[in-house]
Every structure is written in structure tokens, then in C-alpha cells.
Chains A and B, each alone.
Chain A
Amino acid sequence: MSVYLDNAATTKPCKAAVEAAVAAMTENYGNPSSLHRAGLDAQLAVDKARKIIADTLGADSVCIYFTSGATESNNLALRGITGAYGRNRKKIVVSAVEHASVAETASDLEKKGFEVVRVSPREDGKFYAADFAAACDSSTCLVSMMLVNNETGYILPVRETFAAVKRRFPETVTHCDCVQGYMKLPVKAGALGADLISLSGHKIHGVKGVGAIYIKKGIRVTPVVTGGKQEKGIRSGTESVPLIAAFGAAAEELFPTVAARYERVSVLKKHLLDRLSGMDNVLVNSPEDGSPYIINISVVGRRSEIMLHFLESKGIYVSSGSACSKGQQSGVLEQFGIKDKRADGALRISITAETTEAELDEFAEALSEGIGKVRG
């Protein structure tokens, strides 16, 4: 039996998601754009998922557009907003700890003539809304910040930041990458003050290959993918009905238990931290008030990749830094003041409400064994 503690990388699809996907592949396989009944049935399946996801965000269905994943959603947000509003407003503001799909897209836009301001945490390792507001001016077309950092679980002050920015520059569009927060913390479009929100299917026990973007009414977005004008022209290409249906089914299953799971996962996080507290050279990188779903620790003096493979040999799967960066250090930990040897030894344990205390105990024991055995 393996112990899967890498749920921030991806999650196991839930039964409801798999069933919804299978139904859409075996029975409801029409093209949503076809005019006949088979097409309509497929469209209804897509619209059902759209409604579920809209409801979870407290938004209207028409604001939800499906994409191939959060990377595409983030690309659409940055490229689409700069495309629509960037002619005279050439500045975008992002946090310095964004996922690569935002960070790299911002860098690309920088090459294309946009000014990109990257806001870092202060000395205390915390972000402040005022810093983002101060970075904005009347030429800022977009502010983008993630809700939960994927490497440390740090929760960014999105609501406060967007409120402060909108108060001074109401024309500035706000985008929040909610991938690691959605279905884990309460995420409401209105409460966040976000004009755009990126979501991913496979981080919430859906299937890989599908994501969504919430676009507030009245916000214009220039499409990145053009073609047959599906998704109201915002994202052309035949809708992946099976993946979308799975996304909807997963969201429907998880939504009622957001609060209960949060409590359960908080208990699990505390349990793990208690187990780790006595260990030599083990430091906790995640903030105390961060998302309990992500626990970033460092084993000082043990390189994370070696430790990761040692744990793997015991059937325990964790991540070093962020899974998306494939072993490359992203520089995000450094932003939070975690540097040098401490950064080299960073491991990310990411859990779900289904994780058990016994699994965490097993991890803690294996880690302790590894610290003794592994050199360098």
C-alpha cells in the first residue's frame, strides 16, 4: 500500500467524477454544438457542470468558461486582459510567488512590452495589500495574485488587496488563481472581489485536462484560442464533455463539505506537526495560519530530491517544492525567506480529508529513518 501525500500536485479522481466521465464517453458522446438531440444532451451535461461550479463560487452560470486546465485559464486571464485593456495601460502587477503559469506568462508579456511589477512579501514573510495598491497606478490594467501558494500553503490577502486596488483604481482588472484554494477554503467571487478566477479540475478530485475561468460580467477578454466560437468565443474548440462533467461532479461532491474537511485537515496538519516537532534538523516552512492542506518542511542538510526518493522506496509519495517545476527550484521559497540549505531540503506534504493519522505516522517514521540513513 502506498501513502499518497502529494495532493497539491494532483488528486485521485472521486467515484462521482469517474462515473460522470464514463457516462459522457459511453452514452452522452454528442458534440455540444450539434443541433440535434444528442448535441443538446451533451450541451446540457456541460451546462449542468457550469451551473454547479458557478453556484460554488456564488456566481452566475454565464460567467464560467471551461478551458483545458488552470494553466490555460491563467494564460487566458493574463493574455486576454492585456489584449483587451493593454493598448494604453501597459502595466501588470503580480505577486512574486505565483505559479509558473502566471509567472512565465507575465515574463512573456514583459518581453512583449508590458511592465511587470512583482510584489514580494515583507521581511516578516507576509504580503500586505498596501504593497500591491502602492505598486498600481492608472496605467495598471491587471493585478494577479494567487489565493493559496502551491508550495507553502501561505494564504495571500486577496480580498484586502483587490478591495484596496479597486478603491483607488476601479478600472484595474483583478485576477485570482484559486487552484489551491478552491474546495479547500471558502472561495466566493463576490467576496474575493476578483474579476477573474482560475480553477483546476484535477486538484479537486476531478480529471486532468480540464479547468475553468470565471469572468465577471462586463469584463472583456481577448481569446487566446480562436476557432468555432465555443464557450461564447472566449475559448474555441469542442468542449471536452467527459472531463467537464467529471469536474462538475467532483465540485458537486466536495462543495457541501468544505468547512468540515477544513477542520479535519487542520487536525491532520496538527498531528503531523506534533510528530515532526521533536525531530532534529526538521523545520516547518509553512505558516501556522496557512492552508492546512499543504505542509512544507525542510530537512536541513538532506537534499529534498534524495529524501523524496528514499520515501518513495517506502511507498510514500511527497513532492519537493512544486511538482510542476520538475525538480527545478522555483525561487518561491526564497521569497518567503527560506534560503540555501533550508531550501535545498524542502519537502511538500499535501494532504486531503481522506488522509489518515496512520499514514502521517508512517511518513514521520520513514522521514526519521531517512534522516539517519541518507547522506547529503
Chain B
Amino acid sequence: MKEVILVKYGEMALKGLNKKTFEDMLTKNIKRRIKGLGHFVCTSAQSTLYIDPQDDDIDLSEVVDRVGKIFGIAALCRAGVCEKDFGDITEKSVEYLSDILSCARTFKVNAKRSDKAFPMKSPEICRELGGILLDKFPNLSVDVNNPEVIVTVEVRDTNAYIHAENIKGAGGLPVGSSGKAMLLLSGGIDSPVAGWMMAKRGVHIAAIHYVSPPYTSDRAQLKVEQLCEKLTDWCGGIAFYCVPFTELQEAIKDHCPEEFFTIIMRRLMMEIAQRIAAKDGCLALITGESVGQVASQTMAAIACTDAVCRIPVFRPCVGMDKTEIIEIARKIDTFDISTLPYEDCCTVFTPRHPKVRPQLSDIEKAQNSFDFEPLIQKAVENTELKTFNYEG
């Protein structure tokens, strides 16, 4: 029996005249993500996108899995396609839904009739189909308030569709619809989550990572590359910039007071990030900071870091607890990678007693005692770019 996937738009359905732009972007994202699974025709009508598989051997559960990770989608479902004829609808419902109905206890039928030319009204469809299913599946009883299974019949323009399992989509806006931003990706738990959260708001992500060999190892960089790869499931392609940071860190250690190490390091990271962001067309920076989590993330410390930033810095995790961040990290499958035990550049030369409430003037004074500019330029010049594409 013919099966399609129905995709319901998220909040972009509320957009006005530029809705089409969002729609096109979402369609493009979907097509790119499922290209490797076979040949599909994607069409949209009435705030719904139809993914119609053209080959018989396509694994639809895999398609659902992938589309479930695309932002801009409120809900999706596999649906059986019927003729717009009540006889066909009932016959196919019994066949298509028998797996799920034969082991359920309670159900109800929902009907949506956007084609008003269909002779039966929605309540009539519900009543009639419900009665037939009750006859066919003696294990079932009707529960309109809290049913285990909701059988939905949608009578639309060209066909009728039946389905019983609505899957929650990833929500948000299509990636790319909000422009591009540069994510500072450390290898910890928070930064991939921050990137994911901004991608959810339609932001196309580029990532920047700092390496300090021999203080950090190849495995540490590899771990971050794995995180990038994981994020492509949700964010699409990611340009990954890897900045050689050893000389700058050694200069900080040689020339600045120990208690300011981390903050000065972060200021230099921000400086480099926004220079590369400008080259790459990124309009903002993204970090995984959360207020008060560590000494460099107190409000005073964030203010000192922000003082060097000329573009907006988004910190979507700013008000979240670690447990909430971990919950998302598990959901997007980055947690296991993030917790691999390799040292990253943030933990190199960690001060024993970092300044919790630094004064900007003190920090600036300490930083001005050495001319970092040539080293910054050198780091930017020697930055390596690697591109991670969605692999399907």
C-alpha cells in the first residue's frame, strides 16, 4: 500500500508574505537530508509538505528519523494514501493500521476534511469509521478523552490520508533562514548544545576551535570534529575552523598575572573568532556559557570578555542548569563524545585561584603589558578550515 510522509510546519506557518522563503528553505533542507535514501517527490500544500517516495525499497522509518531532526517542523507522520472514497478509506485503515490497532485497548477517530466537496462531514467520518474499526478489532473500545491510539483521517485536495502516529518534529525555524553565526566549540558539553539551540532558531552554524599542541592532543581535536559531524544531523553543513593557539597561551602565561589567565585567553579567543566570523560572513558569535558555572562565566567575567566583542554574542545556555544542558546533550547525542577524557585548550594553564569578579580596567592593563596583535594575526592566518557536510 502506498505510503507517504506528511510534514507539518512549525511556527513558520504563521509567517506572512515571506512564508514562501521559509518553505523553500525547509524543502531544500529536507531534500538534502534524505537524498541518500532514494528518490522522492516533495510537494507542499496547505502548510503541509508531502514526501512521496518513488522507489519501493525505501526505508521510511529512516526517512522519519532524519526528517525528525530537521528544524522548522512541528510534527510528522507516516500516512497511508487512499482514494477519496469512504469505502477505500475504511478498507485501507483496517489493513494499514492493523498492527497498531490489534494491540491497543482504546482509540478514537479524528477527521479533517479540507476538501469540502467530500460527501461526508468530519463527525460522520469519525462515527462511521470508528464503528467499523470497533467491529474489526474486538480488543478496542472508544475513549475520546485519553485514547491510546488516535486514528486520523485527512481528506485533502487529491487524496485522503490515514495515520495513527504523530511524531513530534524538531520545532524551530529552517536552518539558514536566520543567517549565519560562529560557534566557539570547545569539546565540552555546553558548546554543542548552544550551537544546536541557535540552529533551532534557523541559524546556520560555523564552528571555531582552538588547539594548543603539545598541551592538547590530536585526539582532543578529533573529538571536536566528531561533535561537528554529530551536529550536521541537525544543523546541516558546518565550516570548522581550527586555530593554532599555543603561542598565544604561552605568551599569556609569560606576561600576564595568573589570576587573569582564563579571562584574557577568552578575550583573545573572541577577538580571533570575530575576525574569522567577518571573513566567513557570520553575523554573531555563539558560546556555551551559563552564568556562574565557572569563574570565567560570572557576570563580571562575561562583561570583561564581551568588552572586546564588536558583534552580538549569543549565549543560549546562559540561564540553564548543567542538568538541563546535559539533557539536551543526550538528546542530540553529543554527550558521550563530549565526555571523552581529552584535555582541551581551556584547561591548559588553568589558574589555581582565578579572579571571580575581575575589573575590566585591571584586565585591560594586564593584557596591554604585551603586544598580542602579531600573534593574533599569525593565528588567524594559520587557521585551518575543514568542512563537514551532512552525510546520508
Contacting residues, chain B, for A191 (C-beta < 8 A): 59, 61
Instruction: Determine how close the nearest CB of chain B comes to the CB of A21; give it in whole angstroms.
Output: 24
- Interface: A87 (CB within 8 A): no
Task: Tell me the chain A residues, 153-195 only, with Cβ under 8 Å from chain B.
Answer: 163, 167-168, 188, 190-191
Instruction: Determine how close the nearest CB of chain A comes to the CB of B212; give it in whole angstroms.
Output: 16
- Interface: A58 (CB within 8 A): yes
- Evaluate whether A163 and B59 lie within 8 angstroms (CB atoms) in the complex, with A35-B217, A37-B218, A40-B218 already known: no
Number of interface residues of B (CB under 8 A): 13
Task: Tell me the chain A residues, 35-92 only, with Cβ under 8 Å from chain B.
Answer: 35, 37, 40, 43-44, 58, 60, 62
Instruction: Determine how close the nearest CB of chain B comes to the CB of A129; give it in whole angstroms.
Output: 11
Instruction: Determine how close the nearest CB of chain B comes to the CB of A295; give it in whole angstroms.
Output: 25
User: Within the assembled complex, what's the spacing in Å between the Cα atoms of A309 and B217?
Assistant: 59
User: Within the assembled complex, what's the spacing in Å between the Cα atoms of A58 and B63?
Assistant: 11
User: Within the assembled complex, what's the spacing in Å between the Cα atoms of A62 and B338?
Assistant: 13
Pick the contact of A188 from B59, B103, B218 — CB < 8 Å?
A: B59
- Evaluate whether A190 and B103 lie within 8 angstroms (CB atoms) in the complex, with A40-B219, A60-B333 already known: no
Instruction: Determine how close the nearest CB of chain A comes to the CB of B166; give it in whole angstroms.
Output: 19
A-B contact count (CB 8 A): 25
User: Within the assembled complex, what's the spacing in Å between the Cα atoms of A62 and B217?
Assistant: 21
- Interface: B327 (CB within 8 A): no
Task: Tell me the chain B residues, 193-221 only, with Cβ under 8 Å from chain A.
Answer: 217-219
User: Within the assembled complex, what's the spacing in Å between the Cα atoms of A37 and B62?
Assistant: 36
Contacting residues, chain B, for A259 (C-beta < 8 A): 57
Contacting residues, chain A, for B222 (C-beta < 8 A): 40, 44
Chain A facing B: main interface SS: helix
- Interface: B99 (CB within 8 A): yes
Closest A residue by C-beta to B61: A190
Whether A190 pairs with B62 at a CB distance below 8 angstroms is yes
User: Within the assembled complex, what's the spacing in Å between the Cα atoms of A202 and B218?
Assistant: 33
User: Within the assembled complex, what's the spacing in Å between the Cα atoms of A43 and B99?
Assistant: 44
Contact with B along A221-265 (1 / 0, CB 8 A): 000000000000000000000000000000000000001000000
- Evaluate whether A62 and B62 lie within 8 angstroms (CB atoms) in the complex, with A163-B99, A168-B103 already known: no
Instruction: Determine how close the nearest CB of chain A comes to the CB of B118; give it in whole angstroms.
Output: 34
- Evaluate whether A62 and B59 lie within 8 angstroms (CB atoms) in the complex, with A40-B218, A163-B99 already known: no
Contacting residues, chain A, for B61 (C-beta < 8 A): 190-191
User: Within the assembled complex, what's the spacing in Å between the Cα atoms of A43 and B222?
Assistant: 11
Contacting residues, chain A, for B59 (C-beta < 8 A): 58, 188, 190-191
User: Within the assembled complex, what's the spacing in Å between the Cα atoms of A191 and B60?
Assistant: 10
Instruction: Determine how close the nearest CB of chain B comes to the CB of A227; give it in whole angstroms.
Output: 18
Whether A58 pairs with B103 at a CB distance below 8 angstroms is no
Contacting residues, chain B, for A44 (C-beta < 8 A): 222
Closest B residue by C-beta to A41: B218
Contacting residues, chain B, for A190 (C-beta < 8 A): 59, 61-62, 65
- How many A residues are at the interface, by size bracket? 10 to 19
Closest B residue by C-beta to A37: B218
Whether B62 pairs with A58 at a CB distance below 8 angstroms is yes
- Interface: B324 (CB within 8 A): no
Contacting residues, chain A, for B103 (C-beta < 8 A): 167-168
- Interface: B336 (CB within 8 A): yes
Closest B residue by C-beta to A188: B59
Instruction: Determine how close the nearest CB of chain B comes to the CB of A249; give it in whole angstroms.
Output: 19
Task: Tell me the chain B residues, 297-353 only, with Cβ under 8 Å from chain A.
Answer: 333, 336
Instruction: Determine how close the nearest CB of chain B comes to the CB of A145; give it in whole angstroms.
Output: 19
Contacting residues, chain A, for B65 (C-beta < 8 A): 190
Instruction: Determine how close the nearest CB of chain A comes to the CB of B332; give it in whole angstroms.
Output: 12
Closest A residue by C-beta to B330: A217
User: Within the assembled complex, what's the spacing in Å between the Cα atoms of A307 and B51?
Assistant: 56
User: Within the assembled complex, what's the spacing in Å between the Cα atoms of A40 and B225?
Assistant: 15
User: Within the assembled complex, what's the spacing in Å between the Cα atoms of A181 and B145?
Assistant: 45
User: Within the assembled complex, what's the spacing in Å between the Cα atoms of A60 and B99?
Assistant: 27
Whether B336 pairs with A62 at a CB distance below 8 angstroms is yes
Instruction: Determine how close the nearest CB of chain B comes to the CB of A6; give it in whole angstroms.
Output: 31
Contacting residues, chain B, for A60 (C-beta < 8 A): 333
User: Within the assembled complex, what's the spacing in Å between the Cα atoms of A62 and B57?
Assistant: 27
Contact with A along B215-235 (1 / 0, CB 8 A): 001110010000000000000
Closest B residue by C-beta to A61: B226
Instruction: Determine how close the nearest CB of chain B comes to the CB of A195; give it in whole angstroms.
Output: 16
Closest B residue by C-beta to A62: B336
Instruction: Determine how close the nearest CB of chain B comes to the CB of A165; give it in whole angstroms.
Output: 11
Contacting residues, chain A, for B219 (C-beta < 8 A): 35, 40, 43
Closest B residue by C-beta to A133: B103
Contacting residues, chain B, for A163 (C-beta < 8 A): 99
User: Within the assembled complex, what's the spacing in Å between the Cα atoms of A191 and B99?
Assistant: 15
User: Within the assembled complex, what's the spacing in Å between the Cα atoms of A190 and B219?
Assistant: 31
User: Within the assembled complex, what's the spacing in Å between the Cα atoms of A58 and B99?
Assistant: 23
Contacting residues, chain B, for A37 (C-beta < 8 A): 218
User: Within the assembled complex, what's the spacing in Å between the Cα atoms of A167 and B98?
Assistant: 13
User: Within the assembled complex, what's the spacing in Å between the Cα atoms of A55 and B222?
Assistant: 20
User: Within the assembled complex, what's the spacing in Å between the Cα atoms of A191 and B61?
Assistant: 8
Contacting residues, chain A, for B217 (C-beta < 8 A): 35, 40
User: Within the assembled complex, what's the spacing in Å between the Cα atoms of A152 and B99?
Assistant: 30
User: Within the assembled complex, what's the spacing in Å between the Cα atoms of A193 and B287?
Assistant: 39
Closest A residue by C-beta to B333: A60
User: Within the assembled complex, what's the spacing in Å between the Cα atoms of A40 and B218?
Assistant: 8
Contacting residues, chain A, for B336 (C-beta < 8 A): 62
Instruction: Determine how close the nearest CB of chain A comes to the CB of B201; give it in whole angstroms.
Output: 26
Instruction: Determine how close the nearest CB of chain A comes to the CB of B340; give it in whole angstroms.
Output: 10
User: Within the assembled complex, what's the spacing in Å between the Cα atoms of A43 and B218?
Assistant: 12
Closest B residue by C-beta to A164: B103
Contacting residues, chain B, for A188 (C-beta < 8 A): 59, 62
User: Within the assembled complex, what's the spacing in Å between the Cα atoms of A344 and B387?
Assistant: 62
User: Within the assembled complex, what's the spacing in Å between the Cα atoms of A15 and B232?
Assistant: 34
- Show 25 residue pairs from A and B whose CB-CB distance is below 8 angstroms, ordered by the A residue: A35-B217, A35-B219, A37-B218, A40-B217, A40-B218, A40-B219, A40-B222, A43-B219, A44-B222, A58-B59, A58-B62, A60-B333, A62-B336, A163-B99, A167-B103, A168-B103, A188-B59, A188-B62, A190-B59, A190-B61, A190-B62, A190-B65, A191-B59, A191-B61, A259-B57
A residues in contact (CB < 8 Å) with B: 35, 37, 40, 43-44, 58, 60, 62, 163, 167-168, 188, 190-191, 259
Pick the 6 closest A-B CB pairs, nearest first.
A167-B103, A40-B218, A190-B61, A62-B336, A40-B219, A58-B62
Known A40-B217, A60-B333; 16 more pairs at CB < 8 Å = A35-B217, A35-B219, A37-B218, A40-B218, A40-B219, A40-B222, A43-B219, A44-B222, A58-B59, A58-B62, A62-B336, A163-B99, A167-B103, A190-B59, A190-B65, A191-B61
